[in-house]
Amino acid sequence: MPAIYPFLLSLALFLLPLTSEAGEAADFAAASPARQAQLLEHWAATPDPTRQPLLDALQHGRLAVDGARRAFIERDGRLVAAEGDAPPEGTPKKLRLNNRLRGLLATAQASHRLLAEEPEVRLAAARALQKSARPAQLSLLNASLARESDAAVRDALALALANLQLADPDPKIRLGAVRLLGETGEPLARTRLEALLAPDAERDPTVRTAAETSLAQIKRRLLFGELLGQAFSGLSLGSILLLAALGLAITFGLLGVINMAHGEMLMLGAYATYVVQLLFQRHFPEALALYPLAALPVAFLATATVGMALERTVIRHLYGRPLETLLATWGISLILIQLVRVLFGAQNVEVANPAWLSGGVQVLPNLVLPWNRLVIIAFALFVVALTWLLLNRTRLGLNVRAVTQNRNMAACCGVPTGRVDMLAFGLGSGIAGLGGVALSQIGNVGPDLGQSYIIDSFLVVVLGGVGQLAGSVLAAFGLGVANKILEPQIGAVLGKILILALIILFIQKRPQGLFALKGRVLD
C-alpha cells in the first residue's frame, strides 16, 4: 500500500512542533480539526498514562477552551485548568468533536487502555483495536504484544497486529499475518481476507494462496457458529410460540373452546409487567431489577381473573358451538384492545430489561446468546413442566381430563363441570399471562401485541394435535426452527407462506396432528 508513505512523511514532519513547551491539552485546544486528528493519531501510537484525564474529558465533552485558547477541564461543575493554574479568561467554550475525531479518540483511548492493570480492560481494548487500529500503531502493538502476559489478550492483540500487517510491504510479514488470521474465527478477519483476495489487492501468489486457505478455515469455523445461531434463534422463537400456544392448547385442546382473545391475554400479561415495573420504579427503585419476577404472579392472577370472568359471562353459554365462540371471543379481543388503548394509549409502552436479562454470553466469536432469550427458553420449559404436573398430578388436572373426555359422565361422577371449566379456562389464560411477561422482555409492548401471535399459536395447536402437550411442545419448536432456517434462505415472508403450505399438506397426511390418539371414530 504505497499510500502509506506520504502519510508517514507528514506524520514525521509534524512530530517536530509537538515538542513545544505548551501542554498537550493546550495544543489540542488551539489546533485546527485537521491537526487535532493528527494529534489524536499520534497519541494513539504513543500512549501515556498521564494523558488519560485529558482523553476522558474529551470523550465526555468536558474540555473547554477560554479566550486565550487555554484548555480547562470541567470537574464537578467547576472549570479547572488542564495545565498550570491560571483562571479562565472570558467564558470558556466547550470543545466539540466531529464524528471522525470521535473515532480517532476511541482508538486513542483503546491504546491507552492497553496499559491498564486489569486484563479484561486490556482485552476489550485489544478487541476494539482489531477493528480500528491504524498503521501508526504498529510498533505500539508489537511492543504491547511483547510484554503482554495474559493469553486471551495476547491472542486478541496478535489479531489486531495481523490486521495491520496485511498492509505491510514485506510479503513475508503479510504471509505470517494471513496465516495468523486463519487461526481465528473472527467475522472481522473474514472481511479483511476477502478484501485481500479482491482482484489486484494482493500480488504475491504465496500470500494469495495462504489467504485462500485461511479464508476457507475461517468460513468453516464461522459456518458452525451461524448454524448454531440459527438453531438458537429457532429455539428461542419456538419457546415464545410455546408460551403463546400452551394456554391455547389447554382452552382449545382440552375444553374445545376457540379463544380468539387468547392473544389479548398475552397482551394483558405484558401490560401487567409494565404496571409492575412502574410500581417498582415509584416505590421500590432499589429492587427494580427483580420486577420481572414480581410480575409473574401478578400477570398470572390478572389474566386468569379476566379469563375466568369471560368464561363465566360469555363463553359458558357457547359450549358446543365452536364457531360462535370464535366470533364472540373475537369481539372480546376487540374490546380488550380498545380498552388498553384508552387506558395506556395507542403507543407502545416501555418495558426495560433489568441488568441480569440484558447482554449475553459470547459462545463463539460470531455467536452471542442473549440472556433474555436463554432465560425465556428455560422459562418456557419450566411452564410446560408445571402445566404437565398440574394436569397429570393434581385433582384439578384429573377433573379437567375427565371433563375433556366425557363431560356428561364426569358430571354424573360428581365432578363440578362448571367450576372445572372456569378453572381450566383461568389456567389457560394465566399461562398466556406468563407468556406475556416473557414477551415483554424481548419485544415491543403495545395494544396489538397479541394479534401477531394468535395465528401462529393456533397453527402450533393444530399441528401439535389437539389436547396433546407433547405435540404442542414439538410443534412449537419445530415451527420455530423451521421458520429460522427458512428465513435467511428465502426471506421471512416467503418462509412463513411456505410453512403454512407445508402445514396444509401435513394435515392431508395426518389430520389429527402430530400426536393424536387413533381411535374408533364415533358419530
**Could you list the residues that contact other proteins (CB under 8 A)?**
258, 314, 317-318, 321-328, 330-335, 337-339, 342, 455, 458-459, 462, 493-494, 496-497, 500, 503-505, 507-508, 511, 517-521, 523
Q: How far is the CB of 384 from other proteins (least distance, A)?
A: 22
Find the shortest distance in angstroms from Cβ 447 to other proteins: 10
- Decide: helix, strand or coil at residue 48: coil
Nearer to other proteins, 210 or 486 (CB): 486
- To other proteins, the closest distance from the beta carbon of 310 in angstroms equals 10
Choice between 239 and 333, CB closer to other proteins:
333
| C-beta of 191 vs 338, nearer to other proteins | 338
Give φ, ψ of 84 to 5 degrees: 75, -165
In angstroms, the CA 486 to CA 518 distance is 32
Q: Taking Cα atoms as reference points, which of 186, 162, 124, 184 lies closest to residue 365?
A: 186
Residue among 65 and 246 whose Cβ is closer to other proteins: 246
Runs of H (alpha helix) within 184-321? 187-196, 205-248, 262-283, 291-313
- Which has the closest alpha carbon to 110: 70, 73, 137, 142? 137
- Minimum Å distance from CB 344 to other proteins? 14
Of 220 and 510, the one with the shorter C-beta distance to other proteins is: 510
Give 523: exposed, middle or buried? Use CB within 10 Å, 0-12, 13-18, 19+.
exposed
Which residue, 172 or 321, has its beta carbon nearer to other proteins? Answer: 321
Which own/partner contact pairs does 284-293 have at CB distance under 8 Å and 24+ positions apart? 288/354, 289/354, 289/355, 289/356, 290/354, 291/354, 292/354, 292/357, 292/437, 292/441
Give strand pairing partners of 364.
367
**Rounded least distance, CB 493 to other proteins, Å:** 5
How far apart, in whole angstroms, are the C-alpha atoms of residue 358 and residue 27?
A: 41
Shortest CB 521 distance to other proteins, Å: 6
Nearer to other proteins, 309 or 503 (CB): 503
C-alpha–C-alpha distance, residues 454 and 439, integer Å: 13
- Could you give the 3-state DSSP secondary structure of residue 94? strand
Q: Residue 165: what residue type?
A: Q
390 and 424 Cβ atoms separated by less than 8 Å = no
Helix (H) / strand (E) element for 78: namely strand 78-81
Nearer to other proteins, 198 or 493 (CB): 493
Kindly state the DSSP code that residue 64 receives in the 8-state scheme. E
Pick 210 or 340: Cβ nearer other proteins: 340
Nearest distance from residue 101's CB to other proteins, in Å?
A: 37
Task: In angstroms, give the least distance from the CB of 500 to other proteins.
Answer: 5
Q: How far is the CB of 341 from other proteins (least distance, A)?
A: 8
Which residue is listed with cell 489478550? 153
For residues 181 and 189, what is the distance between their CA atoms, to the nearest angstrom?
6
Under DSSP, the state recorded for 285 is G
